[in-house]
Amino acid sequence: MARLEAGSERAELTDGVLAETVWMLEKGLRVPRTQIARHLVSILSMAGVTYHGGKRRLLRAFGSYRLTNCDVVDCLLAAQGNARRQKVYTFDAGDFRKLDCPWEEPRVR
């Protein structure tokens, strides 16, 4: 971790790794979401850590995760939709009503 913080070593975070980490901490270890968000944002701020979607998007996603009871994957999708200025199509209307993101339920025939 010290090498990542100093930037002498590199690591890339992915949505899958983040979702699995949050799930394990939240469901498996019962860590409060405010602590999860704080620690992951701390890791994201390390010089050697990169995120393919951009750190600003991830900070927004974890802000939503911390302030709502929405699933972390929905927070990531909402932040991505906002960054790309695209609507998110989802069956999870409950979470997306709480997130600041344009969304729509898909029409099923």
Partnered with residue 13 across adjacent β-strands are: 51
Supply the pLDDT for residue 109.
80
Q: Which CA distances in Å does 2 have to 5, 6, 28, 45, 49?
A: 5, 6, 27, 12, 11
Weakest mean pLDDT among 2-11, 19-28, 45-54: 45-54
Comparing CA positions, the residue from 34, 31, 7 lying closest to residue 21 is: 31
Q: Give the start-to-end residue ranges of the domains of the chain.
A: 2-104
Check whether 54 has a pLDDT greater than 90.
no
